[in-house]
Amino acid sequence: MCTAATYKTQDFYFGRTLDYEFSYGDEITVTPRKYPFHFRHMGEVVSHYAMIGMAHVAGDYPLYYDAVNEKGLAMAGLNFVGNAVYQEVEEGRENVAQFEFIPWILSKCATVKEARESLNKMNLVGTPFSEQLPSAQLHWIIADENEAITVECMKDGMHIYDNPVGVLTNNPPFEQQMFQLNNYIGLSPKQPENRFSDKLNFNAYSRGMGALGLPGDLSSTSRFVRVAFTKMNSFSGVSEKASISQFFHILGSVDQQRGCCEVADGKFEITLYTSCCNTNKGIYYYTTYENHQISAVDMFGENLNEKELIKYPLIKGEQIYWQN
């Protein structure tokens, strides 16, 4: 399970948590402009926008979980198990395999508007990367500093939704996630007023009671509500440090601790990493389960006219700042 969110202050930020019981060996991966993408049904693309994100690199191919390109367009894929159904290869359409979706959109689109235009010509197909890595069942959030959309490919075809909250988790489908927010219309960061009865006197005996009823479990529906409430009510300074600090706090509201979500005997889902990318500056910040210190890679600090992938392994040991 995972959670993705957007956040805007002076710059625009995009990131996600990746929650799972094990890691595939993820790396911060910069794909420069001249890295040759060999698309299964669309041929080779040798010149494109550069991008940075978290990926499992297999056979020198970046299988991105989330990424942002040099124009500031960001994208993440999140589990959508049981609902994702991919399309068939169709002549006359741009047939893009599920694992190619992020590179395909980010290599050629600078804005969500351009991504929408590309999606109108595209079939999202289930061609697997390999026998060992079959097609993952996912849905996606695509965002720039002006808007966000959710893309879901299901049994009845591809759906493209406006995403006004800039949040995505997992099941159920996005329309249902948005509808359930109606159940929490009364939540507020302010202290509650007595609307129960004017014949009774009530005591708001604790701070934070305006959000009584905000779900606290780790299910995808509850995480959607919780991170949407946290994000939509967030307040921070506009500096880079203030903005990224607040963003990590927003996603921290859905952090998964080892022991709280058991997926098999003795196996627990945890938040393997949390990311925050300044899409205007191309800086990818992250923390890991074992390392709460924020680390960063600057895409524009690399030579983006190269042909080879640039990879940075995650820093996983806890980094403690000693003060004496």
Distances (CA, A) of 255 to 67, 226, 274: 20, 11, 9
Q: What is the pLDDT of residue 1?
A: 81
Average pLDDT in the 68-92 region?
96
- pLDDT tens readout for residues 236-282: 999 999 999 999 999 999 999 999 999 999 999 999 999 999 999 99
In which band, very low, low, confident or very high, does the pLDDT at 181 lie, cut at 50, 70 and 90?
Answer: very high
Cβ atoms 276, 244 nearer than 8 A: yes
Share of the chain above pLDDT 90, in %: 97
0.75 surpassed by pTM: yes
In which band, very low, low, confident or very high, does the pLDDT at 19 lie, cut at 50, 70 and 90?
Answer: very high
Average pLDDT in the 86-110 region?
97
The residues near 211 (Cβ < 8 Å, ≥ 6 apart) are: 187, 188, 189, 229
- pLDDT tens readout for residues 102-128: 999 999 999 999 999 999 999 999 999
Q: What residues form DSSP beta bridges with 69? A: 51
Helix (H) or strand (E) holding 96: strand 94-97
Instruction: Please state, in angstroms and rounded to a whole number, the distance separating the CA atoms of residues 250 and 234.
Output: 8
Average pLDDT in the 191-213 region?
92
Average pLDDT in the 75-98 region?
96
Strand spans (E) along 99-244: 122-125, 138-143, 148-154, 157-162, 167-168
Q: What is the pLDDT of residue 22?
A: 87
Cα R_g (the chain), whole angstroms: 20
Cβ atoms 86, 135 nearer than 8 A: yes
At residue 247's C-alpha, the angle toward residues 72 and 214, to 5°, is 125
Q: What is the pLDDT of residue 212?
A: 94
Which one of 2, 109, 276, 277 is the catalytic residue?
Answer: 2
Task: Kindly state the DSSP code that residue 215 receives in the 8-state scheme.
Answer: -
- pLDDT tens readout for residues 271-316: 999 999 999 999 999 999 999 999 999 999 999 999 999 999 999 9
Q: Check if 2 is active-site.
A: yes
CATH no. of 1-172+234-311: 3.60.60.10
The residues near 83 (Cβ < 8 Å, ≥ 6 apart) are: 137, 139, 152, 154, 171, 172, 173
Instruction: Please state, in angstroms and rounded to a whole number, the distance separating the CA atoms of residues 15 and 174.
Output: 18
Distances (CA, A) of 71 to 68, 91, 276: 8, 31, 16
